[in-house]
Amino acid sequence: MEENNKMQLMIEQAERDLLHTYNRYQVVLDHGEGMYLYDVNGKKYLDFMAGIAVFALGYGNQAYNDALKAQIDKILHTSNYFYNAPAIEAAARLKKVTGMDRVFFTNSGAEAVEGALKAAMKHAWLKDGKERHQVIAMENSFHGRTYGALSVTGNPHYREPFGQMPCDVQFARLNDLESVKALVGGETCAVIVEPVQGEGGLMPASEEFLKGLRALCDEKGILLIFDEIQCGLGRTGYMCAWHRYGVRPDIMTCAKALGCGVPVGAFLLTEEVGQSSLTAGDHGTTYGGNPFACAAVNAVLDQYESLDLVNHVRETAPYLTKVLDDLAAEFACVTERRGVGFMQGLVFDRPVGPIIADAMENGLIMINAGSNILRFVPALVTREEHIDEMAQILRGAIGRNC
Ligand SMILES: *Cc1c(COP(=O)(O)O)cnc(C)c1O
């Protein structure tokens, strides 16, 4: 009881001091171990949210932690006036695993999207010299909360209170190539799409759609941008979601799992776009690509290799799919299972808030996508026994709330 009071007091203090932009779960987390999180009272939770698809390695990976500690004792930050060894290594490795040619490191996902948009605008401006260029984005997309990223985010509620958006954007429908074609005009400079929509409802783009987009962009001289911030780095069973389809973008973004908790993102370009877009003086960041963040990227990529994480996802995801299909068949309130790999959703005929709260009470951390979708984005080290444990708790929570 006294313990609960302590957590309650911490939450009350937070609500006095922090700007209230999140309706947070009423839990103060303390530490993690593998697939489990512990709150300040020592209560244990199985984690199927992974800090919103971030903690690919699970918690307390010793080799990763040791690499970060070693970098702290060497140097944390240099500024981009200098080269630094971790960034040189991280850029080469990221090129290799993604199949892109040029890397710019950022501090977050939204900032990677900003850079991608600036690169596309500059590329078009160099080509045709026009003052105005348009971007085509998808309905239900999510690209981040800064102004440029918000411009291309397909949820009108996120944009509505914030006035004029800086980018001129039109929205097409995912998997409806004709809806994209109808919007392409002389000022269109880029199409931006998540190969698997995250926030917007775990909806994968079809192979036909992505191939159609590639052909359309090539024909019209438009850049194709893939936002792989959530679906990239192994979550779909491929290092990049687009590897599954062999449709290479001109620019791609990356973040979330890239640092596994250390804030780092990147946008990557083909050599052609790299050579004819952003140049010295066009773009910058104080922190981006600093030695600490890039040491995290290197440590993450080391663990992807030594734990063979992408193959593990490919092997284990069919089990997650089967378990979720079983839940969908068992409960009439579940209308659909969606998604791929370790990026899936159960669609409900009602808001999932009460189910998430019930699961939390019973030691399972889940996240929604929109009001009526339960999102499954666990660490990439998730094994079948964790999926069983998740399903057991979730079955109870759905049963009590449907
Ligand atoms: C999370 C996310 C972003 C924004 O990343 P932040 O690090 O929160 O700025 C952008 N695009 C996609 C697809 C995301 O999932």
Q: Each residue of 201-215: pLDDT tens digit?
A: 999 999 999 999 999
Residue 384 is predicted with a pLDDT of 98
The Cα–Cα gap between 100 and 225 comes to 12
Best residue for ligand 1 mutational test, from 147, 199, 264 (most atoms within 8 Å of Cβ): 199
Whether 3 shows a pLDDT value over 70: the answer reads: no
Regarding the beta carbon of 198 and ligand 1, being less than 6 Å apart is answered: yes
Residue 46 near residue 381, CB atoms below 8 Å: no
Query: Residue 5: what pLDDT?
Result: 86
Using most ligand atoms within 8 A of CB, pick from 107, 231, 256 the residue to mutate for ligand 1.
256
Is residue 357 classed as helix, strand or coil in its secondary structure?
Answer: helix
The 8-class DSSP code of residue 201 comes to T
The residue whose CA has the least distance to atom 10 of ligand 1 is 143
For ligand 1, whether the C-beta of 106 sits within 6 Å is: no
Task: Count Cα atoms within 13 angstroms, Cβ side, for 281.
Answer: 0
Q: What is the mean pLDDT of the chain?
A: 97
Q: Is 194 in the pocket of ligand 1 (CB under 6 A)?
A: yes
Cβ contact 389:379 at 8 Å: no
Q: In what order do the strands lie in the sheet with 44-47?
A: 29-33, 36-39, 44-47, 364-365
DSSP 204: B
Structural element, H or E, at residue 9 = helix 2-17
Kindly give the residue spans of alpha helices, DSSP state H, lying in 197-349: 207-220, 271-275, 291-306, 309-330
Q: Whose CA is nearest to atom 6 of ligand 1?
A: 109
User: Which residues, 6+ apart, have CB-to-CB distance to 239 below 8 Å?
Assistant: 97, 98, 232, 233, 310
Give 100's DSSP letter: -
Whether 235 is in the pocket of ligand 1, judged by its Cβ within 6 Å, is no
Under 8 Å CB-to-CB from 26, ≥6 apart: which residues? 11
pLDDT of residue 22: 95
Note whether 256 and 229 are within 8 A (CB): yes
The answer to whether the beta carbons of residues 262 and 77 sit under 8 Å apart is no
For residues 350 and 402, the answer to whether their CB atoms sit within 8 Å is yes
Q: Residues 318-346: what's their mean pLDDT?
A: 98
The answer to whether residue 149 scores a pLDDT higher than 60 is yes
Ligand 1 contacts CB of residue 110 (under 6 A): yes
Which atom, in ligand 1's list, is nearest to the CA of 256?
7
**The predicted structure's pLDDT at residue 352:** 98
The string of pLDDT tens digits covering residues 218-237 is: 999 999 999 999 999 999 99
Selection from 221, 380, 266, 214 nearest residue 313 by Cα:
380
Candidates 91, 375, 124; CA nearest to 225 is 124
Closest atom, ligand 1, to C-alpha of 228: 13
pLDDT confidence band for 34 (50 / 70 / 90): very high
pLDDT of residue 304: 98
Q: How confident is the model at residue 12 (pLDDT cuts 50, 70, 90)?
A: very high
Query: CA gyration radius for the chain?
Result: 21
% of the chain beyond a pLDDT of 90: 99
Of 269, 161, 187, nearest to 224 by C-alpha is 269
261 CB near ligand 1 (under 6 Å): no
Atom in ligand 1 nearest the alpha carbon of residue 145: 9
φ, ψ at 294 (rounded to 5°)? -75, -30
Asked whether the beta carbons of 168 and 159 are under 8 A apart, the reply is: no
The residue with tokens 């899936």 is: 344
Task: For residue 20, report the distance from its CA to the centre of ligand 1, in Å.
Answer: 20
Residue for token pair 């299909």: 325
Instruction: Look at residues 146, 340, 376, 175 and name the one whose alpha carbon lies nearest to residue 255.
Output: 146
How far from the centroid of its chain's Cα atoms is residue 1's Cα? 38
| DSSP string covering 262-282 | S--EEEEE-HHHHHTS--TTS
Ligand 1 pocket test, pick from 143, 226, 267 with the greatest ligand atom count within 8 Å of Cβ, gives 143
What pLDDT, on a 0 to 100 scale, did the predictor assign at position 217?
98
The answer on pLDDT for 293 being more than 80 is yes
Q: Establish whether residue 108 lines the binding site of ligand 1, counting it when its CB lies within 6 angstroms of any ligand atom.
A: yes
Q: Is the pLDDT of residue 1 over 60?
A: no
Ligand 1: nearest atom to the Cα of 199 = 15
- Give the position, in ligand 1's atom list, of the atom nearest the Cα of 227: 13
113-124 per-position pLDDT tens digit: 999 999 999 999
**369 near 375, Cβ under 8 Å?**
yes
Give the integer Cα–Cα distance in Å for 19 and 28. 17
- What does the pLDDT look like over 44-55, one tens digit per residue? 999 999 999 999
User: Is the Cβ–Cβ distance between 249 and 226 less than 8 Å?
Assistant: yes
Phi and psi at 240, nearest 5°, equal -115, 145
Q: What is the pLDDT of residue 207?
A: 98
Query: pLDDT-based confidence at 249, cuts 50/70/90?
Result: very high
**Tens digit of pLDDT for each residue in 68-100?**
999 999 999 999 999 999 999 999 999 999 999
Distance 254 CA to ligand 1 centre (A): 9
Contacts 24+ apart (CB under 8 A), 94-99: 94/254, 94/266, 94/268, 94/297, 94/301, 95/268, 97/239, 97/301, 97/304, 98/232, 98/239, 98/240, 98/252, 98/254, 98/268, 99/240, 99/243, 99/248
CB–CB of 7/27 below 8 Å? yes
Residues 165/147, Cβ–Cβ less than 8 Å: yes
Q: Which atom of ligand 1 is nearest to the CA of 144?
A: 4
3-state secondary structure of 74: helix
Q: Which atom of ligand 1 is nearest to the CA of 111?
A: 9
Q: What separation in Å is there between the alpha carbon of 235 and the centre of ligand 1?
A: 15
How far, in Å, CA of 326 to CA of 337, rounded? 10
Widest pairwise Cα distance in the chain: 68
Any ligand 1 atom below 6 A from CB of 230: yes
Question: Ligand 1 within 6 A of 142 CB?
Answer: yes
- Please give the number of the atom of ligand 1 that sits closest to the Cα of 141: 13
Average pLDDT over residues 281-298: 98
Question: CA 78, CA 67: separation in Å to the nearest integer?
Answer: 18
